[in-house]
Structure formats: C-alpha cells, structure tokens
Amino acid sequence: PSGVPVRDHRNRGAWPPVTSGSWFLFSLTSLFPRKMFLVGLTGGIASGKSSVIQVFQQLGCAVIDVDPDRRHLLNSITHPEICKEMMKETFKFFLRGYRYVILDIPLLFETKKLLKYMKHTVVVYCDRDTQLARLMQRNNLNRDDAEARIKAQLPLKDKARMARHVLDNSGEWSVTKRQVVLLHAELERSLEYLPLRLGVLTGLAGIASLLYLLTHYLLSSP
C-alpha cells in the first residue's frame, strides 16, 4: 500500500528446529514446511482484523484462535494447554486437505515467540487517522482516550515493516476484501501439496488395513 513500508521476505530457507515446550504444536508443519504451513495474522485495535478473518473464513480457510476466555494466556503462548489444542486443530486441517492454517495472534510481533514458525505473516493495516476515527466511533470514546488506547499498542507501521504481507484497510471495504481474496489465492497455489496429502492418507489407510487384518487373524485363531 502507498506510504506503508512493506517487506516481502523471499526464500527464507528451512525453519529452525522446534524448541522444547512447543514441539507438539509445530511438529507437523516443521516436518512438512513446504507442504502445509502456518500463517500468522495480526493487526491493531480498530484496524479491521476481525472483518478480514471473516472473509478468510467465508473463503473456506482454516483459522485458529485462542478461546476468548483464555486470552490471558497469549503472553505465554507456549502454554501446554494452548499448544496441544492448536496442534490438534492444525492436524485436523492438514488431514482435511488445507494448504495453510491461519493463526490469529494479536501479540505476534510483540512477543515474537511464534514468528520463527510462521512461513507467512500478515498485518491488517490502516493509517493512524482512520484507526483513530474508527475507534472513537466504535467504542464511543473521546479523542484523548482513543489515542491512549492506540499508543498502548505497537504502531501498525512498525508491524507492517516486519510483516511479509500487508492488507491495507484504510479505504473502501471492497478494496480490502479484494486484497484478502488475492492473498488467499497466492497462499493456496501449490503443486507439491496434493501428492503429500495423498501419500499421508494412503499411509494411514495402509496402517488401518494392517490393523484390521491382524485383528481378524487373532480373533479367528483357535
């Protein structure tokens, strides 16, 4: 977007090894980083992130969010309970054929704990004046209170500098929605994912068949 510093990090290479405490969350995508990958999505207050996520979901994308009742655990995102839940959901999406999984992480760039596991990072951006006006209208705040809320967060321009993709939501919603559709198409493109999924499903079917034959043999033995 015009006036927004955006970096597109190409050829980032292999992912670093998964550290203890988070291996069960990212073991699948670490083993197959080019087959199924994680997309970290973040934004700022009144930037329109929730609306963007709704569009991704309408497009049939897999989105994982932390239970709102446990948002306090976001500062410790590697908490075992949260990690196990995310890993379980990620694996379900993998078996169902999803190319990528979006993780909605409000503090993605603030904590930096999950950045090394994200093949793509996305920021929902809007300019400061637009953000301020939206927040004042949405939350019925005066200017001083709204500015204080915005200043309490990492500026969106800083997040945009660190993100691989920026969705500019400063203007008409139809323009933003078009950006989401185009980004989804880009993330979906892959020629190597289908053989992997077929291989995994074939392997699972083979294991199930062997277990069935073994069980049948044991039950039929005198």
* 12-67 per-position pLDDT tens digit: 433 344 444 455 455 555 555 556 889 999 999 999 999 999 999 999 999 998 55
Using CA atoms, how far apart are residues 136 and 81, in angstroms rounded to an integer? Answer: 36
What's the whole-number mean pLDDT along residues 113-126? 91
Mean pLDDT value of segment 95-100: 88
Please tell me whether residues 212 and 162 are part of one structural domain: no
Would you say residue 3 lies in a domain? no
Tell me, what DSSP letter sits at residue 14? S
Report yes or no on 10 lying in a domain. no
Print the domain residue range for 208.
Answer: 192-222
Identify the pLDDT of residue 116.
85
> Is the same domain home to 145 and 90?
yes
Predicted confidence at residue 102, as pLDDT, reads: 96
Please choose, from the candidates 98, 110, 79, 109, the residue with its C-alpha nearest in 3D space to the C-alpha of residue 38: 98
Q: Same structural domain for residues 112 and 203? A: no
Higher pLDDT, 167 or 106: 167
Q: Based on the structure, what is the number of domains in the chain?
A: 2
β-strand partners of 64: 103
Q: pLDDT above 70 covers what percent of the chain? A: 66
Residue 139: other Cβ atoms inside 10 A: 12
Are 131 and 170 spatial neighbours (Cβ–Cβ below 8 Å)? no
In this structure, the answer to whether residues 102 and 212 fall within a common structural domain is no
Q: Is residue 13 in a domain?
A: no
Q: Check residue 207 and give its pLDDT.
A: 77
Apex 167 CA angle, 163 and 170, nearest 5: 125
Which CATH number belongs to the domain containing residue 123 in this structure? 3.40.50.300
Question: 109 and 178 in one domain?
Answer: yes
